[in-house]
Amino acid sequence: MSKRKTKDAQLPVGECITELQRILRERLCHQQLPDKPEGVEAQHKHLLELLKRTAVHGESNSVLIVGPRGAGKTMLLKCVLRDLLEEKEIQKNLLQVHLNGLLQTDDRIALKEITRQLHLENVVGDKVFGSFAENLAFLLEALKKGDRSSSRPVLFILDEFDLFAHHKNQTLLYNLFDVSQSAQAPIAVIGITCRLDVLELLEKRVKSRFSHRQIHLLSSLTFDQYLDQVQTQLGLPDDFPDTVFAEDWNDSIKTLCEDKSVEEVLQRHFNSSKDFRSMQMLLMLCLSRVSVAKPAIKPADLLEASRLCFGDAKANMLHGLSILELCLIIAMKHLNDVYEGEPFNLQMVHNEFKKFLQRKSSSMYNFDQPVVMKAFEHLQQLELIRPADGSSAKQQREYQLMRLMVDNSQIMEALQKYPQCPTDVKQWAMSAFG
């Protein structure tokens, strides 16, 4: 009887919402790993077997995981590592080094990071090495076990692998592949990249040492599977403390996904990106609107979240400009219309602005040349304008050719939302002539 009571026990709504937010935020923000990665079972099996051969049998190898952004490359690798480290012996013995091409921008920084992650700073000390190869060989030698007969296996995971190919002489890649081929120490080199032509970036000597083993991930997700994933991502688990609340919540999510307007929004997201991270961002924005007063996600929440996701950053930037800067943008818009997109300079923009002032015979917008130049420079800093290709930086600033980086629709949309925008400025923007 007592068991039944606890099972059917209803928690206060506030506690349910807090627990709901905790579970779903963990899933959406921390990208919780699935129990089994869907749609990539063959790739999962292949990679797991490959890494097991390094971790258990001391066999060296190299492999590339290739696929578009958001296809699940990192998720696949994390799932494989989780499954691999379930065995206590492997967990105790296996070492991992994670490098990222965006962070380790040259081989010296990469080597420092390898030393740090292998906890060998004290061993290296103040030793001076003649070359990168000597330094790496010393690090791997230092990992030998007490009997000095066998070395601990090391996984080198190179994220943004293609960026390592831009390092001088590709020394890091050459040495890692060389070690993996020559069986000096058991290492596995795993590259993660979204470039399909990554092998073309490798030098001959590096390419010849690479195993040419590639694992491709291509999103084969259909819209129905995408909808199922949305439902799964927002669903509450069976072990939720309040079963009645969980059932009601899951029913409301099912109803939400069947709504026509919601389906249209999700279809638009699916068409623009099948990336799970962008889906999770959308759902996270919906979840942030759930509260005790509104304990369910409504179609309007999804529409608002979608609007925020597809928000135009450049158009939003225009809302924060001063009236003078906005007037200069409108002058550039008219120059673009008249000269069919040809580049312009500050002098031309200022002349166009003066024409508007003469027509209005208003002293309200009269600004000195230095003030106008300052505003023009600010627009360049915001990257709303940029120097035209081939324009010389040595030219006088007034005559340096520039291009406008926002289009007419973005300007007109920003004007509609600009707080207390003067009517004559709006009319000037809408007029067909400057």
Question: What pTM was computed for the model?
Answer: 0.65
Phi, psi of 268 (to 5 degrees): -65, -40
The set of residues, in sequence order, having a beta carbon less than 8 Å from that of 212 and lying 6+ positions away, is 199
Q: Are 190 and 65 in contact (CB under 8 A)?
A: yes
Q: Are strands 95-100 and 154-159 parallel, antiparallel or unpaired?
A: parallel
111-147 as b/e: b if 16+ CB within 10 A: bebbbeebebeeebeeeeeeebeebbbebbeebeeee
Predicted confidence at residue 62, as pLDDT, reads 93
Ramachandran category for residue 341: left, alpha or beta (phi over 0 → left; psi -120 to 50 → alpha): left
Domains delineated in the chain:
2-11+229-309 (no CATH), 41-216 (3.40.50.300), 315-430 (1.10.10.10)
Question: In this predicted model, what pLDDT tens digit does every residue of 211-232 receive, in sequence order?
Answer: 889 999 877 778 888 888 888 8
Nearest to 31 by CA among 372, 280, 291: 280
pLDDT < 50: residue spans in the chain: 1-7, 146-148, 434
Contacts 24+ apart (CB under 8 A), 252-255: 252/296, 252/297, 253/297
For 225-326, where are the E strands, in sequence order?
A: none
Nearest to 369 by CA among 397, 341, 400: 397
Nearest to 215 by CA among 64, 49, 39, 61: 64
Predicted confidence at residue 213, as pLDDT, reads 92
